[in-house]
Each structure stands twice: as C-alpha cells, then as structure tokens.
C-alpha cells in the first residue's frame, strides 16, 4: 500500500489547491462587484438588489466591466444555418434559428412581412407576450427589453416544436442576452451600467426558469 501514499497525497494537495482557487475567485468577484456597488450610476434599488443577489457571479462582474468600457463588449450573435431551398423541413428549422437567434432588426422585418400569414413557412408561432421581470426584482426594464423578448419568444415557441433540445434553448437564451446588451449599449454612459445589470438578471432568470416554457 505504500506506493499509493504519494499519489493520494498529491491528489489531496491538488483538491486543496482547487478549493483555494475557487475561494479566491469568489472573493475577487465579490470584491469587484462591491466596488461597483458604490458607484453613483448603480444606486437605484433595482441595481442594488441585483448586485446583492448575484454578487459572487463572475458573469455579472464581466457585464459591469463591459458596461463601463473596461473590457470589450461582445455583441456577436450565434452562428445560424443557411437556407438551402432543398428541403422544406430543414429550411423551416433554419429560418426559425435565423429569426430566433438573430438581431432585433431582423426579427422586426420578418414579423412585419410574415406574422400570421402562413408564410414563408406554415406552422410558425408568431405570438408574443412581452417580458416578465425576474422573480423578486421589480425591474423597470420590461419595455426596454421588449424587442429582445419578442425575438426570444419566437425562438422558444418554435424550437420547442421543431427541435426541442437543451442546446437550442441555451443558444436562444444567449441570443436574448446579446440583444438586451445591444439595447443597453445604445443608452447613455450613465444609464448603461444599470441596464447591463438588469440584462444579466433577465438572462439568469430564463436560464434558471425558462425550461418550463421551452
């Protein structure tokens, strides 16, 4: 049994190091978010509630860094398949992804042209019901984010019929987050941080609770 002692000891040290790294990352994230919580742009009750709820989440820290221009803002949308014209079912699915994972502008043009007409493909669900604020947060961004919520509704309501997978739900949520951040990026520098914080909270809400709707 003696030869096993060294590997076991190394494993123990490795696990300890991993645990310390996780604790350090969490502490660093909390410290960074605490610093942002003191800034005047984030003193409203909604922003403070978000910072408190997600204070240990590195993704919120990244969102705030983007809002303040301290890291590049990634507004790239997911890759979408091409329309081939060779297979009706395949093209309908590709169209759903191109519309549900695309920009707000693209969705709006498709909605204006085709909603409830049975074109360009039969069986598409164009219904939408706006945004629901994350549970426990009385956020005033439902109207701000409504365009992004419309795109998200289209993705959820059609992909759950034609290709219901966890991967498709995740990609639809990621496109939703990107579209919300694009809305926030167009705001003034003073309003941008609170908007990015709200976008993160909306994204987290659909990641945690959206499976029931997909």
Any idea what DSSP says for residue 172? H
What predicted TM-score, i.e. pTM, was given to this entire model?
Answer: 0.86
Residue 16 Ramachandran class (φ > 0 left, ψ -120 to 50 alpha, else beta): alpha
**pLDDT tens-digit series, residues 5-41:** 445 554 454 445 555 555 555 767 888 899 999 999 9
Domain range 1-214, CATH architecture:
Up-down Bundle (1.20)
**pLDDT tens-digit series, residues 188-205:** 999 999 999 999 999 999
Least confident of 3-12, 75-84, 117-126, 197-206: 3-12
C-alpha atoms less than 13 angstroms from C-alpha of 9 in its C-beta half-sphere: 5
């Amino acid at each position: 049994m003696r030869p096993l002692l060294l590997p076991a000891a190394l494993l123990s040290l490795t696990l300890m190091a991993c645990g310390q790294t996780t604790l350090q990352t969490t502490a660093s994230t909390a410290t960074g978010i605490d610093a942002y919580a003191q800034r005047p742009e984030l003193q409203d009750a909604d922003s403070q509630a978000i910072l408190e709820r997600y204070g240990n989440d590195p993704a919120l820290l990244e969102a705030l860094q983007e809002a303040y221009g301290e890291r590049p803002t990634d507004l790239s949308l997911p890759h979408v398949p091409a329309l081939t014209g060779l297979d009706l079912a395949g093209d309908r699915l590709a169209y759903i992804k191109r519309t549900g994972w695309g920009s707000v502008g693209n969705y709006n043009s498709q909605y204006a042209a085709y909603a409830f007409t049975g074109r360009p493909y039969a069986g598409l669900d164009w219904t939408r019901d706006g945004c629901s604020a994350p549970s426990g947060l009385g956020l005033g961004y439902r109207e701000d984010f409504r365009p992004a919520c419309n795109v998200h509704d289209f993705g959820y309501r059609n992909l759950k019929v034609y290709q219901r997978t966890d991967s498709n739900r995740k990609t639809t949520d990621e496109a939703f987050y990107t579209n919300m951040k694009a809305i926030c990026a167009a705001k003034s520098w003073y309003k941008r941080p609170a908007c990015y914080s709200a976008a993160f909270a909306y994204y987290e809400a659909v990641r945690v609770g959206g499976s029931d709707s997909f």
